[in-house]
Chain A
Amino acid sequence: MAFSLGFHIIFAAIGMTMPFFMSAAHYRYLKTKDSVYLALTKMWMKGVAILFAVGAVSGTVLSFELGLLWPGFMRDAGAIIGMPFSWEGTAFFLEAIAIGLFLYGWNRMRPWAHWATGLAVGVSGFVSGIFVVAANGWMNTPAGFDWVDGVARNVDPVAAMFNRSWLHQSVHMQLAALQAVGFAVGGIHAGLYLRGRAPDLNLKALKIAMAFGAAASLAQPLAGHFAGQRVAELQPAKLAAIEGLFETRAQAPLTLGGLPDVKTRTMHGGLEIPGLLSVLAHNDPNAVVIGLDRFPESDWPPVAIVHVAFQVMVGLGSGLALLGGLYFWYLGRGTFPRWFLRALVVCVPAGMIAIEAGWVVTEVGRQPWIIYGVLRTKEAVTPVPGMVYHFYLFLVLYGGLALATAWLLWRQIAAAGKNPETP
């Protein structure tokens, strides 16, 4: 399951943001009638088509897998947290209709109506993403039911959907998707541009993708800070694991880097900035930040993994924000230096890695719970024997799918670089 999700999160991120890039290029084409934009739209459209199909099938697997792997979880959770999934299903349906219209609607629909179907793909995909993240938020801050003698009572699906984590998690995730995909796409086109392939097209592509990516990367630190404050309040054990804070204390320091050691309950290495964690979590350098000592060790998440994953996420996010700022600076000056374009090429995978790391932080940071404070992961897992085979099956399936998709996209990029006017 974790593996399927780890795979799906990347494809979902691309699937819900690429259509916006495509629509932006299409918009420019309809406005300017510049055929380069048309070529770009069709090029991105193929990527969208491939990724939507892969995202749709991997999403189907996930909807089944919830029940296949976590029947104990779903027996309790389905009625409570089904609501975002029902809306997500609706949005997904509309997305599938819209993509059919967009992909095959060239010359069969009025141009602006056709453009609108492309935009509808993006909007419905983006909204689906918010619903799914809301469901994940519920696992972090369960709401909308009372847990009485091992049975859920007073079920309120609306309260469950709009749980206390849905807003900060979805803002953070949607920005992350825009940021990661914007930089990945921008970086690929920067690479093609540097090689001198179809410079006009690739520069235009770079500008569209980076407009999204750079803007999101500048907004993300704010969203991340907002998310951090909510986690400090709602899931103090997760925050303590993120920061490797073993002791509850005032003027808590922020540790950059370093490796927490659970046995000795100390942090090895890393750069401590006194009081900064208290400021970040509670806006006050003297505020008390709860440490892991307030929780029994059986309720600790794997501290080292969570801490390191968080450092990776924030480090990459900060780097991208810096590049995002530089992007607007150079855009204003009207020219991009080669070293900057090379840096963008290097950063192609950065946003994706940051998404995976962030996902590790939120999921591993919640352990040993699957529904925080209510249900432990080991109580929820399927009774079906031979889960190892299940795991291998999906490893092979998803591994194969990921490789095939990557290979196919690579062929698209290679072909587009060679033959830019007739993609």
Chain B
Amino acid sequence: MIEILICFIGVSLLLYVVLGGSDYGAGILELLPAGAHRQRQTEIINRAMGPVWEANHMWLILIVVILFMGFPPIFTTLMVALHVPMLALLVGVVVRGAVFTFRHYDAIQTPRSQRVYTWLFGLSSLWTAFWLGVIAASLNRGVIDPAAPTVWAAYFAPWWGAYPLAVGMFITCIFVFLAAVYLVGETSDPNLQARFQRHAQVFNGAVIVSGGGVFLASLGEQESLPAAFLAQPLTIVAMALATLLFVALWFSLKHRQTMLTRAIAAGQVALILIGWCLLYAPNALVTRAGPMSFYAQAAPAATLRQLVLALLVGSVFIFPSLYYLFRVFKLGGRPAPSSA
């Protein structure tokens, strides 16, 4: 039972990062100067994200629900210790979702109001992506302290430091990279294609640089990443594969193999994520009092059975309809202008 739930959390996390992550990245891309391309770019992003961003966002909700029902001690520890970054994340989620919709559906669209929406959308995307990274970094630092004596130790120390900051930046770069790669295939305008391709290359570099930053920052942690890597050879394999794939990616990007490029980029991000998860599995959190593993913190068996049932029955409906959604909007050749 617990293995099935861990799989669901893993798959949800993966799809959230690979699909939802690019929605953040698209917002961040809109912060970059676009000159005369501004309006076209916004239209493309609206059309690319519009049908799918809400479904992509659901993976996060699914993770929250699984933790909340299946592993309540992990959920509560997380919510107390990371209260501040969680709040920051939520503010970002609300502003971003609302502004994206408002930009598209405002009945009276003036250039000025559109500029404000775009600016807010980009800023909140950047903000939310960064805090996602901070939260991810804070899970396994061993600084979360359920018996903390001071306010600082309980609510700030768990996520404070160079390492969470570095991971926040790393995740942000990954999201923008994904978005740029995906967006190349969303337009037939060669100027914009070239633009997105350049962004993809630049942020590809940024991913590598900020990844190095994560390594450096981890040297100041209780357990540095190099040390953790040596203990988990599979992670080294995953990271090496992800790095090697960059060669294939550049080749594919250059030859405008839209679907192949997307698959390679998503595969790279998936490998990084899997490698990272392997470092800590089956622990969800590492606190000062020791690791909290999914096995030790699970809800009673009767609850787990019901949760698995709900997820399996749900999957029977969710995966086919999700496939249909992506087939209609993402696999159906050149997108037609939306009448929505």
Interface of A toward B, CB cutoff 8 Å: 45-46, 49-50, 52-54, 56-61, 63-68, 71, 74-80, 82-83, 85-90, 92-94, 96-101, 103-109, 155-158, 382-385, 390, 393, 397, 401, 404-405, 408, 411-412, 414-416
Contacts and interface: CB of A to CB of B under 8 A. Distances in A.
B94 interface: yes
A79 B72 contact: yes
B76 A67 contact: yes
Shortest beta-carbon contacts, A-B, top 10 = A82-B69, A90-B314, A78-B72, A79-B299, A67-B79, A53-B101, A415-B107, A100-B51, A57-B97, A96-B54
A183 B278 CA distance: 55
B205 to A, nearest CB: 33
- Which label, helix, strand, loop or mixed, suits the secondary structure of the A interface? helix
Contacts of B102: 50, 404, 408
A89 B300 CA distance: 20
Contact of B61 (A92, A104, A382, A384): A92
B151 A385 contact: yes
Interface in B82-115: 83, 86-87, 89-91, 93-98, 100-102, 104-108
Contacts of A58: 94
Contact of B90 (A61, A83, A156): A61
Contact of A108 (B78, B107, B332): B332
Given A53-B100, A106-B339, A67 B68 contact: yes
Contact of B69 (A52, A76, A86): A86
Contact of B303 (A66, A83, A405): A83
Contacts of B76: 67, 71, 74-75, 78
B247 interface: no
B6 interface: no
B68 A93 contact: no
Contacts of B155: 384
A86 B79 contact: no
B232 interface: no
Nearest to B104: A49
B72 A74 contact: yes
A30 to B, nearest CB: 16
A85 B65 contact: yes
Interface stretch (B22-30, B265-273, B322-330): B322-330
A101 B97 contact: no
Contacts of A390: 87
Nearest to A405: B98
The interface size bin for chain B is: 35 or more
B73 A75 contact: yes
B321 A98 contact: yes
Given A89-B310, A104-B338, A107-B339, 17 more contacts: A49-B101, A49-B104, A54-B97, A54-B101, A57-B96, A71-B76, A74-B75, A78-B68, A85-B68, A86-B306, A90-B311, A97-B324, A104-B340, A156-B302, A385-B151, A401-B94, A412-B105
A79 B65 contact: no
Contacts of A60: 57, 60-61, 90, 93-94, 97
Given A63-B64, A86-B69, A155 B302 contact: yes
6 contacts: A67-B75, A82-B70, A82-B303, A103-B50, A155-B300, A405-B98
A129 B76 CA distance: 25
A64 B64 CA distance: 7
The listed residue with most B CB atoms (<10 A of its CB), out of A53, A106, A401, is A53
A177 B338 CA distance: 31
A158 B236 CA distance: 44
Contact of A97 (B55, B72, B98, B104): B55
Interface of B: 47, 50-52, 54-55, 57-58, 60-62, 64-66, 68-70, 72-73, 75-76, 78-80, 83, 86-87, 89-91, 93-98, 100-102, 104-108, 151, 155, 299-300, 302-303, 306-307, 310-311, 313-314, 317-318, 321-322, 324-325, 328-329, 332, 336, 338-340
B311 A104 contact: no
Contacts of A96: 54-55, 57-58
Contact of A93 (B51, B62, B328): B62
B98 A54 contact: yes
A411 B109 CA distance: 10
Contacts of A416: 107
A142 to B, nearest CB: 15
A82 B100 contact: no
A197 to B, nearest CB: 14
Contact of B51 (A54, A67, A86, A104): A104
B317 A90 contact: yes
Contacts of A65: 90
Contacts of A63: 61, 64-65, 68
B151 A68 contact: no
Contacts of B96: 57
B75 to A, nearest CB: 5
A137 B184 CA distance: 49
A65 B108 CA distance: 34
Contact of A57 (B55, B65, B98, B105): B98
Contacts of A415: 107-108
B211 to A, nearest CB: 29
Contacts of A49: 101, 104-105, 340
A82 B76 CA distance: 13
A405 B311 CA distance: 33
A156 B104 CA distance: 45
A57 B83 contact: no
A77 B299 CA distance: 10
Contacts of B321: 94, 97-98, 101
Nearest to B313: A90
Contact of B83 (A50, A68, A74, A86): A68
Contacts of B303: 79-80, 82-83, 155, 157
Given A93-B314, A401-B98, A411-B108, A83 B306 contact: yes
Contacts of A82: 65, 68-70, 72, 299, 303, 307
Given A54-B98, A90-B317, A64 B86 contact: yes
Contacts of B106: 408, 411
B80 A383 contact: yes
Given A49-B105, A390-B87, A83 B55 contact: no
Contacts of B107: 46, 408, 411-412, 414-416
Nearest to A85: B65
Contacts of A71: 76, 79-80
A37 B296 CA distance: 57
Nearest to B339: A106
Nearest to B89: A64
B97 A56 contact: yes
